[in-house]
Structure 1
Amino acid sequence: MVDTDSSDADDEDASVQDDANSRQLVSGWQGRYYEDFDVGDIYKHPYGRTVTETDNVWFTNVSMNLNPMHFNEAYAAETEFGERLVDGTYVIALAVGMSVIDVSQNATANLGYDDIRHHAPVFHGDTIFAESEVVDKRESESRDHVGIVTTELRAYNQHDELVLSLERTPMVLKREHAQPSAATPPGWIEGVGTQPEDLD
């Protein structure tokens, strides 16, 4: 049996230990830029969201929606649905919000919401899931730093029933103009929090 020199192994272990103790800024998810979109891509947005009675009542009050279907249980009980419905504009806001992480985290503006359809009612306790399909993209004719992306947003309940669909069209930053970094990710201003020089 041949003895091996353990010094090389010790040096390797020390190197691993040094790496394990080093601190560095690491980039997280920075959202998609215009170049990242391809027509036909479908993004299933992370997390489902269960709609509560509080969501519905608060949103109905804040938006001054006076239809009793949303806040009058006795009235709603006598309708074909037998209970209150979740405000449809809340369902739109929820689905759009769920899509931001994949579609418009780096948008400079939303140009439009089109062809909005409520396919099925949403009730308290339903869990909503959303996905977006890229249906079109083009360069902006008036702004060099953005492109225009159109997606079809679809929302489903826990029974896989389509409850909402719509098209949304944001202007999305091009990567070269955003210059994302681990030190200044989307939504942060320069100089806040841990900086590279803090790690020296």
Structure 2
Amino acid sequence: MTDEFDLSDDETFRAALDRAATRPKGNCFEDFAVGDELDHAPGLTLTRHASETWAGQTLNHDPAYWRPDAAESRGFDDVPAHPDYLTAAVMGPTVEDLSEKGGYFLGRTNLRFHEHGVPLGTNLRVRSEVLDTATSSSRPDYGIVTWETTGVDADTGDPLLSYERTNMIPRRNPPASDGGEQEAKNDDQAEGESSPDLGLPGTFVEPDGEHYEDFAVALAAVEDEHGGDAAVAYRHERGRTMDAVTVSQLPLMTLNTAKQHHDANVMADSPSGDLVAYGDVTRSTALGHARSDEATWREVGFDDERFHAFVTPGDTVYCFTRVRDARDDDGDDRYGTVEFEHVAFDQDDEPVYSGTRTARIRKRTASQQTPN
């Protein structure tokens, strides 16, 4: 097996990236059927900070959502979550399952508040049901899906807010295409010969899922099906463009006052010519992309972390992953241990961070368990 190749080398990395399959996020039109019910895994706790930030940034200055005396005068026991913030908090967790693939947001209707004055501190969970699916005569690449979404109090099960939303959703295999073009491209990438001087293996193998068993099976296939001339490697679909929040606000939240994140005047004369993102923000962004394709149980540790290039406002951070090892040495029925190599890269396919990471990944049979 070709085991050592330097993914932080620009030429090697671009060659690997060209051949790696992208692990998709979100669902296509064909994945929805009338009557399907979805429990959205993310959920959040409604907080005063988030409610006031939302209201303040949108100029919603109704004092009932800021001051206890004004809230009391309106019949609330205490300052409640702002209704616009509550609406956004119910919508947000649905995006990955329902509309991440893109497509036009056609509208939302029948939005109802089932509880008025939802207390801050409420633990929110969200579920959706598919109400209707239809093909689009005007846009054959898309279908149309309508869902009913409900946000509930996780502690009581009481509904707090519900609405119906309709989106155009991309089709996996549009009528205008046999769906084979991208598959053929991926096959060509996977089977393409690497340049001998770069040390890349002949084939990249992609895991079939997010659990420990999927990584272990993919690694076994490297030897059993490809004679060792392969690696388990893939790219993640999401990207995150660096903005004022990631470049300046997040460092300040960790008490990082380094001038390279905040003083544009000084940084104008620096080698970067601009503010630069805190390395740990870049790293965390890339790891977030990777973890979205893993059933992570616990983090174990990191090694060989390096930062290769500046990340400045407007740059977009993506992630590429190679799976180096999977072992069941603890014999725990909840998880196995997987070693990853992660490379964060920008919109020009230039590596900006790399490192190895060891994590415990949930086994399929324990995918619904909660860490102790």
Q: TM-score, normalised by structure 2?
A: 0.43
Given candidates 93, 99, 122, the residue that maps to 2:94 is 99
How many residues are aligned here? 175
Counterpart secondary structure, 1:96: helix
* In structure 2, distance between residues paired with 1:160 and 1:90: 20
1:77-120 Cα offsets, whole Å, 9 max, x none, are 34422211111111111111110111101121210010100001
* In structure 1, distance between residues paired with 2:104 and 2:165: 11
The answer to whether the aligner puts 1:129 opposite 2:113 as a matched pair is no
Task: Sort the Cα spacing of 1:145 and 1:120 in 2 relative to 1 into closer, same or farther, 3 A.
Answer: same
Task: Sort the Cα spacing of 1:194 and 1:83 in 2 relative to 1 into closer, same or farther, 3 A.
Answer: closer
Aligned residues of 1:47 and 1:129 also touching (Cα < 8 A)? yes
Counterpart secondary structure, 2:26: coil
* In structure 2, distance between residues paired with 1:79 and 1:66: 15
Task: Sort the Cα spacing of 1:48 and 1:187 in 2 relative to 1 into closer, same or farther, 3 A.
Answer: closer
CA drift of 1:73 comes to 1.8
The answer to whether the aligner puts 1:56 opposite 2:13 as a matched pair is no
**Code of the aligned partner of 2:129:** E
Alignment of 1:1-200 (within 5 A): 28=23, 30-121=25-116, 122-158=118-154, 159-176=156-173, 179=182, 183=234, 186-187=237-238, 194=320
What is the root-mean-square deviation of aligned Cα atoms in Å? 2.9
Counterpart secondary structure, 2:132: strand
Aligned residues of 1:50 and 1:125 also touching (Cα < 8 A)? yes
* In structure 2, distance between residues paired with 1:33 and 1:152: 18
* In structure 1, distance between residues paired with 2:235 and 2:69: 52
* In structure 1, distance between residues paired with 2:4 and 2:152: 44
Decide which moves more: 105-114 or 73-82: 73-82
CA drift of 1:187 comes to 4.0
Over the matched positions of the two proteins, sequence identity in percent amounts to 27
CA drift of 1:176 comes to 2.9
* In structure 2, distance between residues paired with 1:94 and 1:45: 12
* In structure 2, distance between residues paired with 1:171 and 1:149: 6
Task: Sort the Cα spacing of 1:127 and 1:57 in 2 relative to 1 into closer, same or farther, 3 A.
Answer: same
CA drift of 1:193 comes to 5.3
Counterpart of 1:5 in structure 2 is none
Task: Sort the Cα spacing of 1:187 and 1:143 in 2 relative to 1 into closer, same or farther, 3 A.
Answer: farther
* In structure 2, distance between residues paired with 1:113 and 1:166: 7
Q: TM-score, normalised by structure 1?
A: 0.76
Aligned residues of 1:106 and 1:186 also touching (Cα < 8 A)? no
**Code of the aligned partner of 1:83:** D
Aligned residues of 2:99 and 2:169 also touching (Cα < 8 A)? yes
Counterpart secondary structure, 1:108: coil
Decide which moves more: 93-102 or 171-180: 171-180
Aligned residues of 1:49 and 1:127 also touching (Cα < 8 A)? yes
Q: Which runs of 5+ in 1 are unaligned?
A: 1-17
Counterpart secondary structure, 2:119: coil
Counterpart secondary structure, 1:132: strand
Decide which moves more: 44-53 or 74-83: 74-83
**Code of the aligned partner of 1:112:** G
1:10-40 Cα offsets, whole Å, 9 max, x none, are xxxxxxxx6xx79996765621100110000
* In structure 1, distance between residues paired with 2:24 and 2:320: 17
Q: Which runs of 5+ in 2 are unaligned?
A: 6-15, 187-205, 207-233, 240-317, 323-372
1:122-152 Cα offsets, whole Å, 9 max, x none, are 2110011101100001011210110000000
